Structure 1
Amino acid sequence: MTQKLRVTGPRESIFNNEVVSRFELYNSLFLTLPFYKIKDTGTLLPLFIKHCEDGVKNLKTPAEIIKSFFERYTQTTDPKDIIDLLFRFIQYIERQVVLFDAVEDASFTKLNTTEDHSSLRSMLKKSEFNAELHEKIAKLIEDFSLRLVLTAHPTQFYPGSVLSIINDLTTAIKINDIVTINQLLQQLGKTPFFNKKSPTPVDEALSLTWYLENVFYFAAANIQSEIDSSLEEFNIPSKKAIELGFWPGGDRDGNPNVHAQDTIQVSKMLRQILFRCYYRDFRKLKRRITFRGVEETVYKVQDVLYKNAFDTNIEPANISEFLIENLNQIKDTLIEFHDGLFADLVDDLLRKVELFGSHFASLDIRQDSRVLRNVHAYCRQFKPIISLFPENFDELGEEEKIQLLSFKTAKVNYSGDADSLTTDTLQTIAGIRQIQQQNGELACHRYIISNCQQASDILQLMELFLWNGWDEKELTIDFVPLFETVSDLEGASQIMERLYTHPFYRKHLESRGNKQDIMLGFSDSTKDGGYLMANWSIFNAKVALTATSVAHNIQLAFFDGRGGPPSRGGGKTHRFYASMGKEIANKNIQLTIQGQTISSQYGSIDSAEFNIEQLINAGISSGLKEKHNILLDSPHKDILDVMAKDSFDAFVALRKHPLFLNYLERFSPLSLLSKITISSRPVKRSSGEKLRLEDLRAISFVTAWGQLKQNIPGFYGIGTALKNQEASGNWDKIRKTYQESGYFKTIIDNGMMSMSKTDFSITAHFAKDPEFGDFWKMLRDEYERSKEMLLKLAGHTTLMENYPVEKRSIAVREKIVLPLVLIQHFALENLQHQLDDEQLQSYEKLAIRTVYGIVNAGRNSA
């Protein structure tokens, strides 16, 4: 099915032998997959794939390709039978994607050698005879932390049952166990990939806990163990470096299906799953520790762990200190009386308890500022608060509002009916206290205010806490503004300046250790201003916010809302952090892990450990170099300012084109995404029928372009910007910027990644469309312009030339799913015709089913 790839280097050779060849071998087993109704599906699929490739090369339409295939290779003419066979093809290809994922994951350690990155130990080794450097590294480690936050965004399609098969399949492939591989592929063929109905927020949380239980529980502890041993070797105090965050059940921004009881339920679920992990480990430990002197402590710990893991009637409490104290007693006894035998097993469990406490992952709460303003207005109607505010409070200016905020602790007497969002907000504020009491403060201590546009958005939320059961002296909450749009990013530092100088907020920050988290959104800023402008706006915002925080002696941590694809902040993420200059706070790296990025980068212990270590090393090495970022110097900054503006103008002109949304709705499955049963979150924020771009979620926006294989958000406008620089005689300067700035180079490289997953030949027939032909040509022309200019800038002949293995992986994956793309276009085209209800449902279902495989194959395409 897949052509052999030309070998050009050692890693490419490994990829060819370990991935492509084994995929071809195991792919033959798909001929016997247990699908029903259609005979010889496995035999016909390779013919269909080849027919699709030839059809695209000859610029045939999807309808022409599919029609000619059935005429040439089958006796089928009935539309219903054609749809049935296409569904079988989809099922096969979905599972081929899983197989390729498993084969690639099985080869992960061979494809990602230690030569690809420096380790913490190697950094310390270099400083062994340099006291000044050693001290600097020690200080960086003392201050550093990494927080990975799993989010419930609707592009992680695999349920737990399929994830378990993938995990087992990867293990079998590592040792070429053909019998087991065949059995697992048979199991995969019979295992449903998708739910019949949309999951609840709790269902989403349960699905993501698979990664916590099976991957992060081990990977985070293993990396922490390496850090501990490295620090011990070089006489540096141990430091907890890794934290986990969790959004399902806590993120209610634009999701009316999340309620306070869900948040409480998810916190309990996280706790119970964690204690089952602890109990599982402790049972293994107990089988080895059969000595005198520890019996009583062992049984005491086992009893507590068992009850917390399995007894649903137990009153939850934060017992991490109890566990640490008793595990240390066991360890001390082993060291003193039993030569330290099996003390390493106790150390392993101790390390996990110190990492995960009684909560596993911190549950973040997120809500839109507009909702929180409405809740504040609701509370102001009642005693004793009503006397503190004028009726026209919402119409006042920002400074007048802030002056009226009194931050008085009060018990509000509510007497009127509140809407569901208001009720949820008030119940959640009370619920956070319950979660902290049961699982510890770290279990739920951050409230993220999305669409934060003014300082009062945060200050009013603080008042809501004081009015609803919280005391000023015990306000164990970190308030995190989220700046998303280009204009919000531009004004972010002024907002934080206002907060840092506000007496009440400053006093609160002091109680929280003078630490401030600020979240920046990559997805909405790209949707708002295009790829280059979004990245440049975030860079400038980080510089300004860092300067403001330093001026007020605040330890700043940026929480980056990154999606999977480059257009949503993904791509070579660790290279962004490694390229930070001293003008950007980078000691505390925090980022979201979402969509297929969870399975592709953190789907196995090997890959999770590698990517966690990459991020930690990026943060430490960035601080170690403390390079001044040349993008802040003229002429670099001036050129980037102009380029970002040119790119922004081009992108906004595209967005304002009268055919923009119509094109996306007509040729992509955008209007059908709401029918995909993988998420509790609506596709758009408003409930109205008419689709508006401002209401469309960035993830749906990017997904739709990815399905079209055009990836407009990942590059559009950058070609125009570069072309303008060339025409202005600045080409040598921009080349110098590219060569000297790691940050700018990463932006360009990630843009090339987006373009590598773009193929306008698939939609070449759009050029003849009487309504959309010129619009398609405009998109294609910017792609060609961007490709030409990016290659010229990088000095390359092909896209992703400096990432040959990733480039080849993308090429194979795109080849696997090409039939899905064509089937999708075929279905969407038929949906434009007059159909009866049965036909309408059949073609809609056909189009929807293709989305899963295309997204999963892309690994970071949505």
Structure 2
Amino acid sequence: MKLSQKEAVYQNEVLTRFELYNSLFLTLPFYQVKHTGTLLPFFSTHIEKGVAEKLDPENIIESFFGQYEQYIHKADRFDLLFRIIQYIERQVVLFDAVEDAAFSKTGKADDAGSLDELFKRAENNGTLREKIIHRLKDFSLRLVLTAHPTQFYPGEVLGIITDLTQALKGNDINDIHLLLQQLGKTPFLQKEKPTPVDEARSLAWFLEHVFYPVVSDIQYMVDNNFDILPEKEQQIVELGFWPGGDRDGNPNVTVESTKEVSSLLRTVLFRCYYRDFRNIKRRITFKGVEKYMAALQDLFYENSFNPAEHPSNDKDPIIFNLNEVKRVLVDYHDGLFVNLVEDLLRKVKIFGTYFSSLDIRQDSSVLRKTYKFLYEKFPKETGIPIEFENLDENGKVDSISFKEADLDVNEVPDDLILDTLETIKYVHQIQNAGGEKACHRFIISNCQQASDILCLMELFLWNGWKQDTLTIDFVPLFETVDDLKRAAQVMGVLYKNTTYQEHIKRRGNKQIIMLGFSDSTKDGGYLMANWSIYKAKIELTAIAREHEIDLTFFDGRGGPPARGGGKTQRFYASMGEEIANDHIQLTIQGQTISSQYGSFDTAHYNIEQLLNAGMTSGIESKPGDTLNENKKSLIDAMAADSYDKFMELRRHPLFLKYLEELSPLKFLSSLNISSRPVKRNSSSELKLEDLRAISFVTAWSQLKQSVPGCYGVGTALKNADKAGKWKEVEELYNTSGMFKTIIDNSIMSMSKSNFDITAYLKDDEKFGAFWRMLKEEFDVTKKYFFKLTGTQTLMERYPVERESIATREKIVLPLVIIQHYAIKRLHEIKQNDPNYEIYGKLLTRTVYGIVNAGRNLV
């Protein structure tokens, strides 16, 4: 079959070059590397054949070793398996770098929308230009970096990938060879679990090396094309940060972590400024700027290398001195090198002295506990009735008096309560050092009622904050299907509260609402999760407009589709008129950060995609994006069918047992990948409601079964077909960008599945029927996806992305089989067996490589 032009380019620029540079591994001067590299193709072919024959992993591995006399002893077998894992881990890094290097030629989708294209269209279209200017005055994008462990490269490896990408762009064989040697000697594993501050340092790498130049460059594009009102500097891209602030279910995040991270963000930023300033200093050697340059030297240097314990907000003096330097250059030196000053000036206006807004997040149960502790300890000062906890919601809302106080708490019996109180007070200091934007959002996880928000607001007032100067946005997070159903009613109660109304007015009549995704998928399945969030947005928008509130949705969209990722920009491009979409805010994490924002080119492209989607949805919304009642009813029915099918699976007595015994779920807690526990209530036995969504999705992905990303969707489509609604489903897919994106992302998720790997379970005494149930739904879903899209293979219309996924899956297939082999052996031997620990290490090592290879490229 003839390749399309894009496929041919991908073949030449990525696949062929990967094979070429992959051969360099054989020349590296490491222990038995040539032997490993020579044997690996035979091992991989043997694995592929065994999987195709649906053999169990133990049979596949043992039969391979049976072909070689030198692998009679277990020690030799273990040695080879570990060397294969190390080799494949580095192959994945090379493939990442080759793809990144070729991104400008292969990475842009056919439906991509860049800002350049939009701005060029506006050059000769006065009406469009006016619409864009109007949209720009209020529109913004906020990307919030989170430390959720969905990719495990340490900072040193990320640095190598960056340098390797640059060397590959220039076809510099010598540098490539040296970097591959460095890669071979650089450990991929951490000896100890990272602390929240360690996680912050890892993510700060992206802030410093990617977002710092990219965000500034995009702001320049906007400023250079459109004259926005000078009195209002509009920052089009904002950054948020969770490590050190997100304490929901993570006892390792304390107020000390928050202090260290806020200081780290400031220090890293000033070092970026100082590097830029040194370049300016080398060029601007003229008269008239000496005192301004000296002042800047002092500000940048001291904040970079001698940070104060209680720093002040130095943004204004920096801007003043830069403007003075600019004035002297324009007035007396023909504007020579003024572009360098303007570039730094732009960055200071964007990032201030804080770099990225530090969000605070805590679960509502902890906040309720803290509230109860204070009103019971200080009944007179707080004025809250002792029976508050037993009141109904109306009674609670009526009892909250919003008294201002500065309660002096000496003894606190609970660490979480103490942390909450100290954090509320410390936010004041963060704002003093970096301005309001440095830390202005408190996110309430598991928010279930209006009193959750109002009680948190009162906690601030009891800890020294004043109503008139309460520069905090209280952000409810609605995540489960039930919470999403109640969300509009909760916000309706909140908007009617007089004190909260006054607070909202002081905050510019703006309300931020976070809608989660991962737990929604775990709670109700993929289609129901998406539809529940979409419906909640419609209802929340309606009630916000009724109260004349400017609503911003903050989406907890992670990396893979099962966590809300995929082609995220399409969701924002397809928001109908019923949904507030003036601002885009979303979480990015793990493989999404490194794959979509890991280099200047990829970050620039993906940020532009999101900006373009948000801009055009407000300017040129498509008729099909606002769903009529018939289409809503159709999706409602399909979501309900999907939900029922998913809940049937969830309630199956073997649901958790299947994950515990066949996936590495039980071993994830032993990996040094995150400061956050694998599950809430870590001391108790495993329950689905306590299991973190990331662990849930990771477990299924290691099994190569995309249950969280598709299960139940096939049944929903089949039932719609049986009910005579197929024409309506097809029309919905062809006209609704939202529904098409849900389906296409689910298809992408399925393309990472391979049921042949676990097909040996088909007739298993314990899990056979359960496996057959999973496979049957997978087959039904695939059949109806083909029927709906008119294709014969998954992702047929996205051949480059399909090829990328297929290549990655082929590279890591040996790791998957080694992992399943190790899990099977661990169940067969006792813990006191001398090989038990070795099998455990084999298992955990494979997790890293498999997850790292699963970059969310589409």
TM-score, normalized by length of structure 1?
Answer: 0.97
Q: Indicate the residue corresponding to 2:817 in structure 1.
A: 822
Distance 1:446 1:237 in 2: 22
Alignment deviations for residues 203-254 of structure 1 (CA, whole Å, 9 cap, x no partner): 1111110000111111111111111111149999863201000000000000
Q: Indicate the residue corresponding to 1:446 in structure 2.
A: 441
Residue 517 of structure 1 contacts residue 559 of structure 1 at CA under 8 Å; is this kept in 2?
yes
Q: Indicate the residue corresponding to 1:622 in structure 2.
A: 617
> Do structure 1's residue 182 and structure 2's residue 177 form an aligned pair?
yes
Distance 1:393 1:328 in 2: 56
Question: Alignment length, in residue pairs?
Answer: 857
Match of 2:105 among 110, 118, 123: 110
Distance 1:99 1:412 in 2: 57
The residue identity in structure 1 corresponding to 2:718 is K
Quick one: structure 1 residues 236 and 755, their matched pair in 2 at CA, closer, same or farther if it must change by over 3 Å? farther
More off after superposition, 569-578 vs 338-347:
338-347
Write out aligned runs for 1:206-285 (5 A). Answer: 206-232=201-227, 239-285=234-280
Q: Indicate the residue corresponding to 1:393 in structure 2.
A: 388
Q: Indicate the residue corresponding to 1:330 in structure 2.
A: 325
Q: Indicate the residue corresponding to 2:529 in structure 1.
A: 534
The alpha carbon displacement at 1:159 in A equals 1.1
Distance 1:314 1:226 in 2: 37
Q: Indicate the residue corresponding to 2:856 in structure 1.
A: 860
The residue identity in structure 1 corresponding to 2:811 is I
> Do structure 1's residue 746 and structure 2's residue 741 form an aligned pair?
yes
Match of 2:636 among 626, 637, 641: 641
Distance 2:44 2:798 in 1: 27
The residue identity in structure 2 corresponding to 1:324 is I
Write out aligned runs for 1:586-625 (5 A). Answer: 586-625=581-620
Alignment deviations for residues 246-290 of structure 1 (CA, whole Å, 9 cap, x no partner): 000000000001000110110001000100000000000111111
Write out aligned runs for 1:359-438 (5 A). Answer: 359-383=354-378, 385=380, 388-438=383-433
Distance 2:854 2:380 in 1: 53
Which secondary structure state, in structure 1, belongs to the residue aligned with residue 762 of structure 2?
helix
Q: Indicate the residue corresponding to 1:848 in structure 2.
A: 844
Distance 1:387 1:257 in 2: 30
> Do structure 1's residue 202 and structure 2's residue 183 form an aligned pair?
no
More off after superposition, 297-306 vs 832-841:
832-841
Quick one: structure 1 residues 468 and 235, their matched pair in 2 at CA, closer, same or farther if it must change by over 3 Å? closer
> Do structure 1's residue 767 and structure 2's residue 759 form an aligned pair?
no
> Do structure 1's residue 308 and structure 2's residue 295 form an aligned pair?
no
Match of 2:510 among 504, 507, 515: 515
Distance 1:661 1:35 in 2: 42
The residue identity in structure 2 corresponding to 1:853 is G
The residue identity in structure 1 corresponding to 2:774 is L
Distance 2:525 2:221 in 1: 40
Distance 1:113 1:159 in 2: 28
Distance 1:197 1:289 in 2: 47
> Do structure 1's residue 67 and structure 2's residue 65 form an aligned pair?
no
The residue identity in structure 2 corresponding to 1:178 is I
More off after superposition, 619-628 vs 88-97:
619-628
Residue 362 of structure 1 contacts residue 443 of structure 1 at CA under 8 Å; is this kept in 2?
yes
Q: Indicate the residue corresponding to 1:3 in structure 2.
A: none
Residue 353 of structure 2 contacts residue 434 of structure 2 at CA under 8 Å; is this kept in 1?
yes
Write out aligned runs for 1:73-112 (5 A). Answer: 73-112=68-107
Alignment deviations for residues 357-389 of structure 1 (CA, whole Å, 9 cap, x no partner): 000000000000011000000001223546622
Distance 1:701 1:254 in 2: 16
Write out aligned runs for 1:573-592 (5 A). Answer: 573-592=568-587
Residue 155 of structure 1 contacts residue 595 of structure 1 at CA under 8 Å; is this kept in 2?
yes
> Do structure 1's residue 474 and structure 2's residue 469 form an aligned pair?
yes
Q: Indicate the residue corresponding to 1:504 in structure 2.
A: 499
Alignment deviations for residues 106-140 of structure 1 (CA, whole Å, 9 cap, x no partner): 00111135975333343344344554433222111
The alpha carbon displacement at 1:62 in A equals 1.2
Match of 2:540 among 539, 545, 549: 545
Distance 1:36 1:381 in 2: 66
> Do structure 1's residue 792 and structure 2's residue 787 form an aligned pair?
yes
Match of 1:138 among 114, 127, 133: 133
Distance 1:296 1:236 in 2: 28
Quick one: structure 1 residues 205 and 830, their matched pair in 2 at CA, closer, same or farther if it must change by over 3 Å? same
Distance 1:727 1:236 in 2: 60
Aligned sequence identity (%): 59
Distance 1:172 1:662 in 2: 47
Residue 583 of structure 1 contacts residue 628 of structure 1 at CA under 8 Å; is this kept in 2?
no
Which secondary structure state, in structure 1, belongs to the residue aligned with residue 178 of structure 2?
helix
Q: Indicate the residue corresponding to 1:677 in structure 2.
A: 672
Quick one: structure 1 residues 21 and 334, their matched pair in 2 at CA, closer, same or farther if it must change by over 3 Å? same
> Do structure 1's residue 555 and structure 2's residue 550 form an aligned pair?
yes
The alpha carbon displacement at 1:85 in A equals 1.0
Quick one: structure 1 residues 598 and 74, their matched pair in 2 at CA, closer, same or farther if it must change by over 3 Å? farther
Alignment deviations for residues 405-456 of structure 1 (CA, whole Å, 9 cap, x no partner): 0001012243543201000000000110111111221111100000000000
Which secondary structure state, in structure 2, belongs to the residue aligned with residue 695 of structure 1?
coil
The residue identity in structure 2 corresponding to 1:345 is L
Which secondary structure state, in structure 2, belongs to the residue aligned with residue 447 of structure 1?
strand
Residue 379 of structure 2 contacts residue 386 of structure 2 at CA under 8 Å; is this kept in 1?
no
Residue 26 of structure 2 contacts residue 33 of structure 2 at CA under 8 Å; is this kept in 1?
no
Distance 1:137 1:622 in 2: 11
Q: Indicate the residue corresponding to 1:807 in structure 2.
A: 802
Q: Structure 2 unaligned runs (5+)?
A: none
More off after superposition, 166-175 vs 221-230:
221-230
Distance 1:376 1:315 in 2: 29
Which secondary structure state, in structure 2, belongs to the residue aligned with residue 761 of structure 1?
helix
Quick one: structure 1 residues 23 and 129, their matched pair in 2 at CA, closer, same or farther if it must change by over 3 Å? closer
The residue identity in structure 2 corresponding to 1:712 is V
The alpha carbon displacement at 1:73 in A equals 3.6
Residue 542 of structure 2 contacts residue 578 of structure 2 at CA under 8 Å; is this kept in 1?
yes
The residue identity in structure 2 corresponding to 1:706 is S
Q: Structure 1 unaligned runs (5+)?
A: 1-5
Match of 1:565 among 553, 560, 581: 560
Residue 574 of structure 2 contacts residue 621 of structure 2 at CA under 8 Å; is this kept in 1?
no
Residue 382 of structure 2 contacts residue 403 of structure 2 at CA under 8 Å; is this kept in 1?
no
Match of 2:663 among 659, 668, 674: 668
Distance 2:744 2:582 in 1: 24
Residue 7 of structure 1 contacts residue 16 of structure 1 at CA under 8 Å; is this kept in 2?
no
Match of 1:839 among 825, 835, 840: 835
More off after superposition, 31-40 vs 721-730:
31-40
Distance 1:289 1:281 in 2: 12
The alpha carbon displacement at 1:667 in A equals 0.7
Alignment deviations for residues 736-767 of structure 1 (CA, whole Å, 9 cap, x no partner): 11101011000000000000000101111011
Alignment RMSD (CA, Å): 1.8
Residue 595 of structure 2 contacts residue 857 of structure 2 at CA under 8 Å; is this kept in 1?
no
More off after superposition, 136-145 vs 523-532:
136-145
Alignment deviations for residues 459-494 of structure 1 (CA, whole Å, 9 cap, x no partner): 000111011111111111000000000010111111
Quick one: structure 1 residues 394 and 425, their matched pair in 2 at CA, closer, same or farther if it must change by over 3 Å? same
Distance 2:440 2:18 in 1: 46
Match of 1:493 among 473, 484, 488: 488
Quick one: structure 1 residues 413 and 179, their matched pair in 2 at CA, closer, same or farther if it must change by over 3 Å? closer
Alignment deviations for residues 606-652 of structure 1 (CA, whole Å, 9 cap, x no partner): 10000011100000000012345556313211110000000000001
The residue identity in structure 2 corresponding to 1:856 is N
Which secondary structure state, in structure 2, belongs to the residue aligned with residue 173 of structure 1?
helix
Match of 2:720 among 718, 725, 731: 725
